[in-house]
Structure 1
Amino acid sequence: MADFPERPTPETITPREVFDEWLAAMSPRLAGLEDFSLPADFPFDYSRESLVYLERILLSEYPDKEAVYAAESKDFLDRCVRYIGESLIRNFGGEWRYSTDSDSAISGYPYVVNDDGTDVGVVPLHLITSLLTRRTGGELAHVFDGTKEYYDAYQAKAGTDPVQGPAKESTAEAPDLSDAARAFLERWQRQMPEQLEQWRAGFVPEDIVLDFSKDSLAALEQVVLDRFRDEDEVTHESNADFVEGAVRYLGETLVRAGFAHWHYQDWGDDAPAENVYHRIPYVLSNVPPPDEPFDCVPLWSIQVAVEQRTGETFTEDYDGMREDLETSST
């Protein structure tokens, strides 16, 4: 079970009995993670904050997702898979599950289904490989916040005590946009053509072709790299107009390709400071439910591009969105 092959086949899918043994070893394996594998100041409390810390550790441990599968020992990986899954269960109810159905995308991997009304299986290993690919530092927090949003809405509609869990026969609709978020999003999209035209005229060299293609994203990234030397410059107020235009163009390219749609969240002025998606425009992939949509926060992509300077961050966002649609349930 702890070998975690990259793509299990019908011949390599671990039998159900092995998963049962894996599940029975949960407590000692987690104890070993706490005692021997994590820094002394790690908050081993299954909280959102601990997931943020764990993501930093994983990013320092593995340079990319290929390193996960290539590692000679997957002991640490196995313990991290357990911790992520248990964090979701202890905060939002639910249980570990396992499938040997070779036609399922989650077959051969332990996964978690929370009491959030979606019946969506979350595979901790996939979360780890995703965070290593995207390297934003906020992926596990995003999953935690999204699950909490659905969980709270489900509990409210089911009319049950969150500690006791929801009534299983109830279902809940996806949380809707707040009035403030909807108003912003409508304004953001209505102003898109004019804002992009002004941004292009004011900031983009005339020889750069911006036709909302994948190749244009590579060209835009080079413009970004030529302009910024580090992440601090990206967020400096003097660059706000350029950055907003680049955010619009990157997101709108994914939207016009048919991969995604714009999204926005606004919890008001009293929103927790650690809520990293508060008042930041981003796009979500157009995958059908119950699949979990892939998100791209253009501002973060710009910051990652400037930090890593590979010239491939924006095109990787494009490919990630397209892959998410191609591999989603229909």
Structure 2
Amino acid sequence: MAADPTMADEPSHLDEWFDHISVVAGLLEDLLPDDIVLDYSMESLFPLEGAIQASGLDEMGSSFTGAVAAYLGETLIGVANGRWDWDDTPGSPTFGQPLVFADDALGLPPVAPVDLVEKSGGDSFEEIYTVWAEAAQAHAAAHPGLQPIREPTPGRDRVAPEGLEWFEGKYLEAWLVECDREFGNWVARFGAGHTWDFSLDSVDALVQQMYRITPTPEQFQDPANAAFADGASWYLGEILRRAAPSHWGIRHGREAREDFDVTKESGRSLSWSPAVALHDVVQDGHPLNLLRRIESWAPRKVPEAIPPLTECVWTGTDWLTPSQMWGHFFASRLESLREVGIPLDHSADSLRRFEELLLDAGPDPELDAAVAGYLGETLLLVGGGKWSGTTVEMVGGPGLVSVATIDLVLLARRMRDGVTFTRVYSAWERRAGELRTRSRDWRPVRSQAPRPVPAPAVVQTWCAEREHEFPDWVARYGADRTWDFSRESLEALTSVIFDVTPTRGELFSPDNATFLAGAFWYFGEVLRRARPSHWRYIQYLRKPQPDDPLQCLEIAMLDSYDSLQSIVYLSPRVKPAVFFDLMLGQNDRDRLNSKYGSWVNGTRADRAKKAMDRRQRKKSRRKQSDADYLASWLSDRERGFPDWIARYGVGHTWDFSPESLDTLEDLILEVTPLPEQLLEDKAHADFLDGAAWYCGEVFRQVRPLQWQYARKAGIDCYLVSASGGPGYRAPVDTLAEIYLHYDRGALRRILGR
């Protein structure tokens, strides 16, 4: 079939998929906790399977599905080599999807990762990996010396340009030297009137010049604008390189600026091309994705709050997440715009006028939310798609176009150029035009406006019945106790459970079904009211009795459903039926109370563990010897302790007694209520040093310990047994454990271990 001449210069579906791979390469790392290693092994597929099975792909979002599919495909290519291709055969069950082919010598059928992810829910990841791995091993055993061929994946694999050895990097070096030498001329020609100091704050100026000089992808790629595009790409890369330890390198393919990336040298591996990022800025019509990536690359400040806990609202009967709240008042906020006098015709001109209105008005959260809703509805009429929380997503082709509308409104207020909304509108029109060109039948199909999603009927019915019958339950089993859904009431619940069903066999006896249902519901309600969460029906864990809610209900955190930053299967959740069974089996009368503490403290504890891990991965850059540094650190701490007390601890007793550890714990939570503030904020470095020294000295009063420091062990001084016993512990790590516990007294409990 002859090629369509009108499509000759259009990127192929496979090219767009390669671009998608490069975009989502770091998405899973952003979503998953730091202790999960994404090394393209079979073991690395297990967390992805758990995420899909626990929450479902609809709740995780299409960007997560695409990221998992890309990762799965790359994992299979890694074990059996081969290549990516595209299924463009009409009538094929995977038509319009990327395919993964093993090397031809292995004789394996191709795999469609997107189809596999959507249909299997992750169940077949291990199976398909095993098949490919065994085929590769069998081929290697039968043909010694012959290796299957892997075709490089653009956007991930590094390949030397033709005629250029990779390790020499001559073209990249010449490009960097040229951009550096010409930067003064670049500023004079393209950036006069702005400050170009390579700071993170200067990104706004760079974005403004991008939209002024090359407002479309075609203009950014036009050779006539190469001088501007080269300088802009180099400048963004230098911002990244100077903001965090990193270096320039070659990504893949051709001798072009799109193939030059910046790779972070510490922490989790992050690597991206500044030129591609700037191309996306003009293609998307907004820089929100770029700004988020820069913030993850080099955070500019320590968080001041825990968003999942502050964003949910308790109504008296239920928790509402931001997405649900958006659904509740979406229509009413749009209706309020009718009073403004701007025609609600969803045109580009109406967006321009609403942006002018925002810039003329002062801060007004209600107006911002209303305009964000109207903006989202307008974009969906242009490009189709759906709402995902307060973000609109255009779903079409291999990539995903999304806009967080409320963030875009705030960006418009900050940039104040008056064309932020219309620029995004034009980008969506351009994308819709591309889809329409590829398929004459394409039409912008959108989902309905956001609205709350009701819980399954079995959950609503069961909870309503338990609440209705609870007074009778109290009268029968706990009339002389207080049932106010507090933590203290869990002691009463524990006593009642052990009185009525002292053994595991009696717990699930049909004679105790009424008692168990009430106890089950009450414990879940105590947890649900203590922290944003809800009852959840787990269909994939159904027992042979599919109608028995006790086997299929659990309490799950709401913040897990409201943000891709927290994945359901890794977030706290409790299945009371199993929990009660374990409590009786282990005769653990403190189990309900301790679970309450870990439940309420879950988010803070997770953040503390991540902050501790990041600190432990830091490498010392001190020039002193280990012994000299230890001596100077101890001397400075002891000599500066009176000043530390004057600054932080006036009015308290600091006598190095075990009891004073409670005072230290309270002070730490007062000065640095979040773990990142204590462990990572340089503004609190002196406070942390003094607190760690004092904690260590208290421990040394009770146990035969001595201070040590070794560069290879991290950046903190630590304590070891004076008698040469095994093990060591850094007081900084001890202080961090304060955030892992809900109850006061963590430091004294550690001392008593």
The 5 A counterparts of 1:108-123 are 109-115=259-265, 117-123=267-273
* CA distance, structure 2, for counterparts of residue 32 and residue 241 of structure 1: 49
| 1:130 paired residue among 266, 280, 295 | 280
Matched with 2:233 is: 81
Work out whether 1:14 is the aligned partner of 2:154: no
| Unaligned runs of at least 5 residues, structure 2 | 1-8, 19-151, 153-158, 313-319, 436-753
Cα pair distance change 1:234/1:296, threshold 3 Å: same
* CA distance, structure 2, for counterparts of residue 107 and residue 77 of structure 1: 9
Shift in Å, 1:239:
7.3
Matched with 1:34 is: 183
* CA distance, structure 1, for counterparts of residue 305 and residue 215 of structure 2: 38
Cα pair distance change 1:305/1:75, threshold 3 Å: closer
Tell me, what secondary structure is at the counterpart of 2:262? Answer: strand
| 2:211 paired residue among 59, 64, 67 | 59
Shift in Å, 1:284:
8.8
Cα shift readout 1:39-76 (whole Å, capped 9, x = no counterpart): 36654432113332222222222131101222335233
| 2:306 paired residue among 171, 179, 182 | 179
* CA distance, structure 2, for counterparts of residue 240 and residue 108 of structure 1: 39
Cα pair distance change 1:283/1:97, threshold 3 Å: farther
Q: Which amino acid aligns with 2:221?
A: Y
Work out whether 1:96 is the aligned partner of 2:248: yes
Shift in Å, 1:87:
1.6
Report if the CA contact (8 A) 2:263-2:272 is conserved.
yes
* CA distance, structure 2, for counterparts of residue 22 and residue 259 of structure 1: 44
Report if the CA contact (8 A) 2:351-2:375 is conserved.
no
The structure, 1 or 2, with the larger RCO (C-alpha pairs under 8 Å, 6+ apart) is 1
TM-score (norm 1): 0.56
Matched with 2:405 is: 298
* CA distance, structure 1, for counterparts of residue 421 and residue 292 of structure 2: 24
Matched with 2:369 is: 244
Shift in Å, 1:233:
0.8
* CA distance, structure 2, for counterparts of residue 232 and residue 137 of structure 1: 20
Matched with 2:596 is: none
Identity, in percent, stands at: 14
Tell me, what secondary structure is at the counterpart of 2:171? Answer: helix
Q: Which amino acid aligns with 1:77?
A: A
The 5 A counterparts of 1:1-330 are 14-15=161-162, 16-17=164-165, 20-25=169-174, 28-39=177-188, 42-72=194-224, 74-100=226-252, 109-115=259-265, 117-136=267-286, 140-149=290-299, 178-180=305-307, 182-184=309-311, 187-203=321-337, 221-222=346-347, 225-226=349-350, 229=353, 231-235=355-359, 236=361, 241-248=366-373, 261-262=388-389, 296-299=403-406, 301=408, 303=412, 307=419, 313=425, 316=428
Tell me, what secondary structure is at the counterpart of 2:251? Answer: coil
Cα pair distance change 1:251/1:127, threshold 3 Å: same
Cα pair distance change 1:126/1:285, threshold 3 Å: farther
Q: Which amino acid aligns with 2:425?
A: T
Please, which moves more after superposition, 46-55 or 306-315?
A: 306-315
Report if the CA contact (8 A) 2:351-2:422 is conserved.
no
Report if the CA contact (8 A) 2:179-2:230 is conserved.
no
Cα pair distance change 1:129/1:228, threshold 3 Å: closer
Report if the CA contact (8 A) 2:195-2:202 is conserved.
yes
* CA distance, structure 2, for counterparts of residue 310 and residue 152 of structure 1: 31
Shift in Å, 1:20:
0.9
Tell me, what secondary structure is at the counterpart of 1:126? Answer: helix
* CA distance, structure 1, for counterparts of residue 375 and residue 420 of structure 2: 18
* CA distance, structure 2, for counterparts of residue 14 and residue 148 of structure 1: 31
* CA distance, structure 2, for counterparts of residue 293 and residue 116 of structure 1: 29
Shift in Å, 1:296:
2.1
* CA distance, structure 2, for counterparts of residue 261 and residue 95 of structure 1: 36
Shift in Å, 1:202:
4.2
What is the RMSD computed on CA atoms of the aligned residues?
5.1
* CA distance, structure 2, for counterparts of residue 182 and residue 140 of structure 1: 26
Tell me, what secondary structure is at the counterpart of 1:316? Answer: helix
* CA distance, structure 1, for counterparts of residue 177 and residue 427 of structure 2: 42
Report if the CA contact (8 A) 2:200-2:243 is conserved.
no
Q: How many residues align?
A: 252
Shift in Å, 1:313:
0.9
* CA distance, structure 2, for counterparts of residue 61 and residue 228 of structure 1: 20
TM-score (norm 2): 0.27
Q: Which amino acid aligns with 1:67?
A: Q
Please, which moves more after superposition, 20-29 or 78-87?
A: 20-29
Q: Which amino acid aligns with 2:326?
A: M
| Unaligned runs of at least 5 residues, structure 1 | 154-175, 206-218, 263-280, 287-291, 324-330
Shift in Å, 1:129:
1.2
Shift in Å, 1:125:
1.2
Cα shift readout 1:86-135 (whole Å, capped 9, x = no counterpart): 22112111222323379xxx996111222464423311111211222344
Report if the CA contact (8 A) 2:286-2:424 is conserved.
no
Matched with 2:76 is: none
* CA distance, structure 1, for counterparts of residue 165 and residue 224 of structure 2: 24
Shift in Å, 1:195:
0.3
- The structure with more helix, counted as a fraction of residues: 2
Q: Which amino acid aligns with 2:170?
A: E
* CA distance, structure 1, for counterparts of residue 334 and residue 186 of structure 2: 50
